[in-house]
Structure 1
Amino acid sequence: MSGVLDEIGLVHREVGTLRAGEEEAGTVLLRRSFDAALAEVWDAVTTPERITRWFLPVTGEFRVGGKYQLEGNAGGEILECVAPERLRVSWLFGPDPGFSEVEVRLAPDGEGRTVFELEHLAVVPEEFRSQYGPGAVGIGWDLALLGLGWHLEGGGLDQDPAEWQSSPEAKAFVARSGEEWGRAFAASGADPETVTATTVATIAFYTGE
């Protein structure tokens, strides 16, 4: 289990806000280095067949202006694609999703290594934000980066992903991730009581406990 939990410490996390037109968007940012060349990481995050192997099955028109859909998850439009540096998409889920965008940025990090940065901007209803905080989306992205790291190393889960998600290992990972997002939320200036309440609620939501 320690190997999976060690992955948590490889990620830098930030929480903030930005203006999105007339509204305020919450932001979560994740940054980590992968022991893989820039071209390899870019291929892993932009090739549909490879995205299916570490994240979710995806369909669509894979060009700027094209639509995409992740199975059972978000869909949207490919807004910008500057190979091998930047990919920006709208990230829409549910019948009335509002503004939500994800941008992935890559940069070389010495010989054969790549800095991966993901920023998710979204206008979130106040009742949801006050109940769960940024960890609601942050934990999901931590899980995605865990899968990407395994994929780039040439490995992966040795069991069905659905089974793993209910395992003690997965629940420990989620709990640690939620705690780290609580720290990032506190560092953004959030009220301590709000940080504690949202962290507990989000971890409970993901673990079912």
Structure 2
Amino acid sequence: MEELRAARRVMGQGSVPAGEAYTVELRRHYRSPVDEVWDAVTNPERLRRWLKPVSGDLRPGGRYELDGGEHGEILRCEPPQVLTVSWLYGPEADAWPGTSEVEVRLSASPDGGTELELVHAAVLADPSFPTYGPGAGGVGWDLALLGLSRLLAGGDVVDHEEFETSPEGREFARRSAAAWGEAHLAAGGEPEQVAAAVEATTRFYVPDPE
């Protein structure tokens, strides 16, 4: 579970065009140089190996769609430092453009590696937040960045479905949910609410096999 310990998690607040938002932030150091990490997060052939297959007009102002149903617009692209996209799910999401945004920021570290910051901002009215807290999106991003780490280390394509149902994947998700609970507490969450959110997130990502 070195990957979980390597990442720093923060829950905060921000804004998107639809209004005030809560944010989940992941910060992670990679030994690979910035150009290598930028290519991994923007090159469709490499993106599919750690996240999901992507299609669409992959230029600023263009629209993209991931194989899992996530879709949106490329809002900002400044190679090799910043990529911002709207992040929506399902056809009904088009009625509320900008309710969720993901931004990836890259910067060079003194050792020649890369500091990655991923910020996912979603409107406070998102019905999943009161139930799941920051783990609603945070656990999914922990799983995704695990795939990115394996790709940068020269690993094979990550089969997310296979991994998430394996004993290793279930334990990873369980510990990720707990880690996001700690970030929620650090942000001022009420202990009882945080405990309930961690339990709900764990049940979602680690359902009873029976």
Q: Please indicate the TM-score interval, normalised by the length of the shorter structure.
A: over 0.9
Alignment CA distance shift 1:162-1:77 (3 Å): same
1:206 Cα offset (Å): 0.5
Provide, for residues 10-62 of structure 1, a one-character-per-residue CA deviation record: whole Å limited to 9, x for no partner: 00000012244573211000001001011100000010111011110000111
Paired residue secondary structure (2:196): helix
Aligned-pair RMSD on alpha carbons?
Answer: 1.6
Q: Give the Cα–Cα distance (whole angstroms) in 2 for the partners of residues 161 and 79 of structure 1.
A: 27
| Aligned match of 1:125 | 125
- 1:113 and 2:113 are equivalent in the alignment: yes
1:165 Cα offset (Å): 1.4
- 1:146 and 2:146 are equivalent in the alignment: yes
Q: Give the Cα–Cα distance (whole angstroms) in 2 for the partners of residues 163 and 117 of structure 1.
A: 27
2:28 is aligned, of 28, 32, 43, to 32
**Overall identity of the aligned pairs, in %:** 48
Q: Give the Cα–Cα distance (whole angstroms) in 2 for the partners of residues 161 and 76 of structure 1.
A: 22
Alignment CA distance shift 1:110-1:59 (3 Å): same
Paired residue secondary structure (2:112): coil
- 1:197 and 2:196 are equivalent in the alignment: yes
Q: Give the Cα–Cα distance (whole angstroms) in 1 for the partners of residues 16 and 171 of structure 2.
A: 35
| Aligned match of 1:68 | 64
Provide, for residues 164-194 of structure 1, a one-character-per-residue CA deviation record: whole Å limited to 9, x for no partner: 2111100100011000000000111111111
TM-score with structure 2 setting the length: 0.92
Matches within 5 A, 1:1-209: 5-20=1-16, 23-97=19-93, 98=96, 99-125=99-125, 127-156=127-156, 160-209=159-208
AA paired with 1:47? N
Aligned length: 204
Q: Give the Cα–Cα distance (whole angstroms) in 2 for the partners of residues 173 and 115 of structure 1.
A: 22
AA paired with 2:185? A
Alignment CA distance shift 1:19-1:180 (3 Å): same
TM-score with structure 1 setting the length: 0.92
Provide, for residues 73-97 of structure 1, a one-character-per-residue CA deviation record: whole Å limited to 9, x for no partner: 3110000000100000000102333
AA paired with 2:125? P
Structure 1's unaligned 5+ residue stretches are none
